[in-house]
Structure formats: structure tokens, C-alpha cells
Chains A and B, each alone.
Chain A
């Protein structure tokens, strides 16, 4: 039983990471209709910034964390402005290729700047376990869950209760009408990319302490994030988070208790989820079903 609880808790922690990245994907998709294949690389890049500040320049964790978020925010807006805006109105295919180009660019840049050598990022949470009702729960897991929920929560508050948040939602749902009421749609799109970059950065910085930092760190996480976004509904922010938690806990439990899956088939299991959901109910759990009648 203790084992089960441990698995659920660590599943929730991974789920928080997947959910944050999935939320980033959903934000961008809702706003610009683009699937940003480079989201994972952007997250890794942000994590490298954190590493540079803490390991190379000796900053303490939380100031570095905040600065990284700010830099990521600016970076997200910058990327949208420089790279996405010129092709935003074009065909889906063109935008896909551009985000792929972005993926390569950022990935190569990380290897070039920081080399492929493995780095270690010390997390802000102690690596001890504490005893809750007889079960040893990792403090790091609890911290990760707290930060991801906190970030998502802050974002929700922002969207629900601020004018800018309202404007962003309007721009995403109906850009033409939003313009009519004075919303600067292009700014909102850029803002969306900035916030997505922040979410990605959080996801990356939460991932790093339990694994190692190298240019490929978020590649697998991105796939889990895709699975979460698809499962939850690619246009649903709530879906992204719920999807992430489901995937995190589900895969952990599957890996621990279903021997056939073991831990070597967790990734294919996630991919199978993507395929099955897309085939059976493309809109996901929370998405709106598109009905095409002829």
C-alpha cells in the first residue's frame, strides 16, 4: 500500500511537469493554431539559463528561477515576433516546418553553447523523504506538485480576473471580433507565446533535478506532453493539466504493476494513448467535438 501511494505521488509530480508543458502547447495552439514542436527545446534552453545562473555564477535558486522565467517570457515573445509572425497567415505545413526549424536551431544552439556534456541542476527542494501516515513521501515530489499547481493556478487567475487575460482569451477565440473591440490581437498572440515559454521553463526546471540536464532532456517529456494535450483536448487548458496528471500517474502505475509494460514500454504506451485517443475521440476528454456534416 505504501508502495502504491509512493507511486501515485511521484506520478502526480511527473504529471505536474507533463501538464505544464502540455498547457504551454495548448496555449499556443489555441492562440495561433500552431503545434509548437520546439516547445521542449525552449524549455531545455530555459533550464540551461537556470543552470548557468546557479552553477556558473553562484546565484541562489529562487532568484535565478524568477530571472529565468522573465528571460523565458521575453524569449517567447521574441520568438513569436521574429520567427512565427512572418508565417502565421500561411499554410499549416509551412508553420510546422518553421517550428521544426526552430527545434533544430535551439537544440543545436544548446549543444554549441553548453556542449553535450551532462550537467546537474540542484533543485530547491531537499532530497529527503518525510513520513506521512507511514509512507515515505519524497519532499521533491511534493515541491514539484506544489510549483506546477501554483503556476497553473496563477495563470488561471490571470486569465479569469485580469483585463489582459480576458483580451487574450478573446483574441484566441475570435481574432476578428476581438480586433473590433480594440484588442491588439498580434500583441496577444505574442503574449501567449511568452506565457507558454514561461510554462515550458517551469516544466524544464522541475524536470531537471530528478534527471540530468543535457540538450535532449525534454525530448521525451514533450511526447508525454503531446499525449496529455491530446488526451485532455488540444484546445482545453483544463484538459492539458488533467491529461498531464492522468498520464503521469497512469504510466507510473502501469510501469510498476503491469509487468508486460514494465518501464521500457512506458513511452510506447504514451504513444499508443495518443493514437487511440486521436482515432476514437480526437477532441479528447474536455475538447469540443467538431462535427462536420455534409
Chain B
């Protein structure tokens, strides 16, 4: 072990350190990440890892911001959205978020994907009074814990709300039905399941079998066998996309064709449904029901509608390589639109505190990317921006919404 050798190594270490050329916006007076002509939003999403199909949410939001910037921005400010990869893990999300806050000096953390990533960054952001805007997760805690974490707010309908609506729908449309449920064994699946049970309360429709599976695992053969053996006539799948596809394929393989099939919104994108139906050969999926709050790009009802035409144009211009049929892009635009609304309502004097004030008392109807009638609304005790949804049915390769608007009030 020679001194010279070690010195060389340490000099290398120093060299790396001193070439610390840090970008990041200049922190002038006031909050970081905001100047009279720009505002910097940052967030993490899953460019790689198990949730990578949802990175389309970030892509869609980014495309919409670019479109708005091209038209002059908001109150004279252009919006930059920097999204980093967290590889679908909470630990990485926290690391990258710290990087965004401490090195990139973002104004707010926006559209971070996933329940666990959002939970892991929440205390950190709250203590630094950095807004955690529109967390991309339906976990109830983001709206429920607003007193403890006033800087955090969600966006989409909570999983509990979703489960409740599905339960109520089953109770009304299929009294006496026997329900078998496959659910992911974490907050996501359990919230959906508990919501479903609440919706089924005091009805003749019963859950007669329920099988959990570990998050991340795709092989649900044993569970599907047991669910089929229960002789239920309704199959509810509260699973992630990959597992959902597996579950439906297995149902077909096992020769199980339940009368009614329900799938969670997260696993309802057209590509998932197409794969599950194995190109149409798997009949289990036909007639499946799910909730929706976004306009699906493959739904013929919206094809000639102005808002979806705009969607198509924005995708073509600002995200030409992306698959525009993926509804996650629509989600991104919906949440970006809401952000633009909030920013414009704050006005010229943009600070973290003033933005949070607007977001906590937001009334933004007319979001072109949400289904008609759905309003983004928050107030005093209601920190759930979206709690309305429609039901939709999968027929012949496309989703069709049916029935009236459903609403959920958190207890």
C-alpha cells in the first residue's frame, strides 16, 4: 500500500468533487425555482422498473406544458417540467427528489408516480415546505392527512372511492351475485377491496372468495385456480396491469368464464385489455367493467371532439414517438391542465405558499381531458381533487362509458 498510489486516488476524488458544476436555477429573492419568466417543476416517475408503463403520465404532462409555453405560458412564465427516473422504487424516488429540491432547486414537486414513492417523500417535502403537487397515486392518505402534511395533495379518485363505486354498481345491477376478488396485497389492492366491500354493504351481493397476491409478482396461477373453484359468477381484479393480463389469460386457460368481470382503472388501458383478450380469442374479457375519469383515446365517442383532437395534435407535435392510444398520456394532460389553471389563478406573485392556497381551494370545471361533468374541486375539508367517475364497458376492442356520473364523499 503506497502513499503515492493512495494520493493519486484521493486526488481523483477531489477532482470529481471540485468539478461540481451545478446547474439549477438561480435562487433570487423568494422561493427557488421561480422567476418572473419561468417556473421549474420537478418530479420522479418510472422510466424503468415495474411501473414503467405509467411514465406516459409524465410524457403527457410535459407535452401539454410545452404546448402552453408555445402559446405564451402562464402569466408570462414558461413552465419547465423535469422528471427523473426512480426505477419504480421508493428509495430512489426519495433520492432523486432530494436531488431535485437541493440541487436543481425546483419550485414544486409535481406528478410523482406511485403510492410508496409519494409516501416516502412526503415528510421530507413537508418539512421543507415544498409543495407535493398532484401526487400520481390514488392512495387515500394524500387527501386524508392534509392537516399533518399541508403541502401534499393528490389528484385522481382514490382507490377506496373506486372500489366503493364498483361495489355499489354490483349491488344495484347484480343483486345476489357471488363475487370472487383477486387483489394486490398492499395499500393499493387493499383500499380497492375495502372500498368494494363498503359499496356492497347491506346488499344481497356477496364476496365469497378473495385471493391476495404479492406486489411485483405476476404468477397468480394458484390464486386463479382457487377463485375458479369458488364457483363465483363475478370476477373482480384489483391488480397491476401485468398481473391483470396474466389473470385473464389464466382464466381463459382454466376454462373459467364468469358472467361479470371487473377490472381496476389502473389496469384498464386499451393495450392491457387487448393483451388480456389475447387478440380477441379470450372471451373472458368481453364485457368487462371499469371506472373511468379520463377520455380514452380509443373511444370513438371522443374521436371528433375538439378536446381529443387537441390531444392528438399536442401528442403529434411534442411527443411524436409516444403511443398516443395510451390513456396515461391523457392523465398527464389532465393534471397539467389543472396545474396551469392553478398557476394562472395565483397570478403574478407566485410563491409556494400562494400556490398551495389556491390548490387547497380549487374549483376548476371544464378540464377538457376529463370525462364531461367531472370537476376538479377542493376545499376546506375536502382535499380530494377528483371524486367523480363514470362506468365504462369493454366491448369489441374498445371502451364505452355508460350510465350517469358517480360521486364519492370520503367519510
- Please list the residues of chain A having a beta carbon within 8 angstroms of any beta carbon in chain B: 3, 6-7, 10, 111, 115-120, 122, 126-127, 129, 136, 138, 140-141, 210-212, 214, 216, 220, 252, 255-256, 262-264, 266-267
Are A263 and B213 in contact, with the CB atoms below 8 A? yes
Q: Say yes or no: is B339 at the interface (Cβ < 8 Å to chain A).
A: no
Closest to B275 in A: A120
Partner of A264, one of B47, B217, B253, B272: B217
Shortest beta-carbon distance, A60 to chain B, in Å? Answer: 14
B6 within 8 A of A: no
Q: CB-nearest residue of chain A relative to B46?
A: A116
11 new A-B contacts at CB < 8 Å, known A118-B245, A138-B254: A118-B272, A127-B253, A210-B250, A211-B246, A212-B218, A220-B218, A252-B222, A256-B225, A256-B226, A263-B213, A263-B219
Q: Are A118 and B271 in contact (CB under 8 A)?
A: yes
Task: Say whether A263 contacts B221, CB under 8 Å.
Answer: yes
Q: Is the CB of B223 within 8 A of A263?
A: yes
In-complex Cβ contact of B275 among A7, A118, A136, A264 (8 A) = A118
Distance of A241 Cα from B245 Cα, bound (Å) = 29
Chain B residue numbers with a CB within 8 Å of A266 are: 219
- Could you tell me if B222 and A256 are in contact, using CB atoms closer than 8 angstroms? yes
Q: Does B242 contact A (CB under 8 A)?
A: yes
B222 touches A129 (CB 8 A): no
Cα of A111 to Cα of B48 in the assembled complex, Å: 8
Residues of B within 8 A of A136 (CB): 254-255
Known: A111-B48, A129-B255, A136-B255. A214 touches B242 (CB 8 A): yes
Contact A7 B225 (CB under 8 A): yes
Interface range on chain B (Cβ under 8 Å from partner)? 35 or more
The answer to whether B282 and A127 have CB atoms under 8 Å apart is yes
Q: Which of B47, B212, B222, B281 has the most CB of A within 10 A?
A: B222
Question: CB distance A264 to B245 under 8 Å?
Answer: no
Question: Among the interface residues B219, B245, B275, B282, which one has the most CB atoms of the partner chain A within 10 A?
Answer: B219
From A140, which residue of chain B is reached at the shortest CB distance?
B253
Chain A proximity of B60: nearest CB distance (Å): 14
Cβ-defined contact, A211 with B219, below 8 A: yes
CB atoms of B275 and A127 under 8 A apart: no
Known: A127-B252, A264-B185. A118 touches B53 (CB 8 A): yes
Beyond A211-B218, A212-B246, whether A3 also contacts B225 by CB under 8 A is: yes
Q: Which residues of chain A are within 8 angstroms of B46 by Cβ–Cβ distance? A: 116
Chain A residues within 8 Å of B48, by CB: 111, 116
> A10 and B221: CB pair below 8 A?
yes
Q: Do B255 and A127 touch across chains, with their CB atoms under 8 A apart? A: no
Q: Are the C-beta atoms of B253 and A129 separated by less than 8 Å?
A: yes
Q: In B187-240, which residues have CB < 8 Å from any A CB? A: 212-214, 217-223, 225-226, 229
B323: chain A residues at CB < 8 Å are 117
Asked whether A264 lies within 8 Å of B213 as measured between CB atoms, the reply is yes
Whether the pair A118, B222 counts as a contact (CB closer than 8 A) is no
Checking A10, A111, A118, A126 against B242 with a beta-carbon cut-off of 8 angstroms, the contacting residue is A118
Rounded to whole angstroms, the CA-CA distance of A3 and B246 in the bound complex is: 19
User: Taking CB as reference atom, which chain B residue is nearest A262?
Assistant: B222
CB of A127 within 8 A of CB of B278, answer: yes
Residues of chain B contacted by A212 (CB below 8 angstroms): 218, 242, 245-246, 275
Contacts A118-B271, A118-B275, A264-B213 given; indicate if A127 touches B185 (C-beta within 8 A).
Answer: no
CB of B375 closer than 8 Å to a CB of A: no
B32 CB contacts on chain A under 8 angstroms = none
CB contacts (< 8 Å) of B241 on chain A: these are 118
C-alpha gap A256/B226 in the complex (Å): 8
CA distance A119 to B46 in the complex (A): 17
> What is the CB-to-nearest-CB distance from B246 to chain A, in angstroms, rounded to a whole number?
6
Cβ of B298 < 8 Å from any Cβ of A? no
In angstroms, Cα B340 to Cα A274, docked, is 55
Question: Which residues of the other chain, B, contact A140 by a CB distance below 8 angstroms?
Answer: 253
Question: Which of B217, B275, B278 is in CB contact (< 8 Å) with A263?
Answer: B217
State whether A117 and B53 are in contact (beta carbons under 8 Å apart), knowing that A127-B252, A263-B220 are contacts in the complex: yes
User: Does B279 belong to the interface (CB within 8 Å)?
Assistant: yes
Are A127 and B281 interface neighbours, CB within 8 A? yes
How far apart sit A285 and B19, CA to CA, in the bound complex (Å)? Answer: 57
Is the beta-carbon distance between A122 and B278 smaller than 8 angstroms?
yes
What residues on B are CB-neighbors of A214 within 8 Å?
52, 242
B83 vs chain A, min Cβ distance (A): 15
- Across the interface, which residues of A come within 8 angstroms of B252, CB to CB? 127
Q: In the bound complex, how far is the Cα of B249 from the Cα of A53, in angstroms?
A: 23
- Give the shortest distance, in Å, between A193 (CB) and chain B (any CB): 28
Question: Separation in Å of the A40 CB from the closest CB of chain B?
Answer: 15
* CB-CB under 8 A for A264 and B214, given A3-B229, A116-B53: yes
Min distance, Cβ B257 to any Cβ of chain A, angstroms: 12
Whether the pair A255, B221 counts as a contact (CB closer than 8 A) is yes
| Bound form: Cα–Cα A210–B275 in Å | 11
Nearest-neighbour CB distance to chain B for A203, whole angstroms, equals 16
| Interchain CB contact under 8 A, B274 and A120 | yes
B49 at interface, CB cutoff 8 A: yes
B307 at the interface (CB under 8 A from A): no
CB closest residue in chain A, given B269: A118
* B141 lies within 8 A of chain A by Cβ: no
